[in-house]
Amino acid sequence: MILRKVFVGIGISLIVPWLLYFILYFILKLFIKADFQYHDNYFIVIHFGWIEYIVCFMISLFLYFLGFVIYMKLKN
């Protein structure tokens, strides 16, 4: 049972960075007009490389396990 929860946590933590990237990408596509290159005062770049992906994975995995530990403490 615990091993299954670990794999679920790893799976969720692998999906979270991708969801974050695509949500930010689509928000930028919806709200920034096509003439963004002429107006640099609201120019926003999404750079989500492998280091950011690993950091986001580690943060989401930590939050998942923190929530799991709190849940198990409250359950007992």
pLDDT score for 28: 76
2-53 pLDDT, tens digit each: 788 888 888 888 888 888 888 887 887 787 666 555 555 555 566 667 787 8
Q: What are the structural domain ranges in the chain?
A: 2-75
pLDDT score for 74: 92
DSSP notation for 10-57: HHHHHHHHHHHHHHHHHHHHHHS-TTGGG-GGG-------HHHHHHHH
And the tokens for 51? Answer: 């280091």
For the entire predicted model, the pTM comes to 0.59
